[in-house]
Every structure is written in structure tokens, then in C-alpha cells.
Amino acid sequence: MEFRISPASGLPIYQQLVEQVRSGVARGKLAADEKLPSVRELSQSLVINPNTVARAYTELERDGVLYTRPGMGVFVAAKSAPLTKKVRRERLLPLVDQLLVEAVEMGCSLAELSKLISERSTVFEWNGTSEPSNASGGKRK
């Protein structure tokens, strides 16, 4: 998987990397136990400091997205046991509300928003009890 950073993003570089890894895992572009580029390798190809890459990896490992095999590299962690429904709700609510605020603010209808969500949802790797109506989001490798 390719990584890109854009100075115009406004977000810190290490955070851009974190988001790209998270997104890649959720989209199935990064498979479990797949090896990520080494800290030094990625820092050279992106022309940034190794410490910046290391910070991103460290944060992702803390959150259970990656794991480290000392001396070998960092790898994509297998999907951990799903959290409680209550915990999921608590963590998703702020994001949901933020999305709804923005949608309402710009005069979007609820139907339009729902359509947008179901559109984008087809690309992700859902593992719950219900799948997206469209199954076009299969693993590519």
C-alpha cells in the first residue's frame, strides 16, 4: 500500500499516516499480519524524519491496529474481539453528531446523507451480523 502526505492538509504528518493505516485496514487494503514498510524505509520515501513515522506506528500499536515483532518490523493486527455495543455507541456518537451538524448546517436532507453513507459503505470490510446490500467491497490484494 502506498502512503502519501500533503503539507496543505493542516493535519500533523504522523496523524495523516495514522489515518491512512486505519483506513487501509478498514477497507481491506491491508490484510492481517501484512508487514508495513520499516520506519527508516518509509521515512526515506516520504522525505520525513524517522521519528515521525515511529510516532505513527507507536500510536497505532497502542490502539491495537498494529503489532511489533522486535527486530522484524510492524504488522497489521488481526481484528480484536468486538467491543460492547455500549462502548461502540459511546465512541461513535461524537462523530455521528458532528456529521449531522455539518449536514444540517449546509442544508442537506437526511435522505441525501443516508444515500451518501450507503454509497461509501460498500468499500469497507464489515464483519457484523449484517452486510451492505452491495457486495462489491471484496478483498483485493
Partner DNA sequence: CAACTGTACTAATACTAATAGGACAGTCGG
Partner DNA sequence: CCGACTGTCCTATTAGTATTAGTACAGTTG
- For position 77 contacting a copy of itself by CB under 8 A, the verdict is no
Using CB under 8 A as the binding rule, whether residue 22 contacts a copy of itself is answered as yes
117 sits near a copy of itself (criterion: CB under 8 A): yes
Q: Is 6 in the site for a copy of itself (CB under 8 A)?
A: no
Of the candidates 38, 141, 27, 31, the residue with the CA atom closest to the CA atom of residue 46: 38
Q: Is 69 in the site for a copy of itself (CB under 8 A)?
A: no
CB of 50 to a copy of itself, least distance (A): 26
Q: What is the dihedral of CA 108, 25, 85, 94, to 10 degrees?
A: -40
Helices (H), the chain: 13-26, 39-46, 50-62, 85-105, 110-121
> Which of the ranges 31-39, 41-49, 66-74, 76-84 carries the binding residues for a copy of itself, by CB under 8 A?
76-84
Report if residue 120 touches a copy of itself, rule: CB under 8 A.
Answer: yes
Long-range (24+ apart) CB contacts under 8 A made by 86-91 are none
Q: How many CB atoms lie within 10 A of CB 36?
A: 22
Residue in 41, 90, 97, 102 binding DNA, rule: CB under 7 A: 41
Cell 498494529, residue? 66
Listed residue (121, 140, 132) closest to 29, CA to CA:
140
Per-position x/- string for 17-36, each x denoting binding to DNA as judged by CB under 7 A, each - no binding: -------------------x
Residues that bind a copy of itself (CB under 8 A): 19, 22-23, 25-27, 65, 79, 82-83, 85, 87-89, 91-93, 95-114, 116-117, 120-121, 124-132
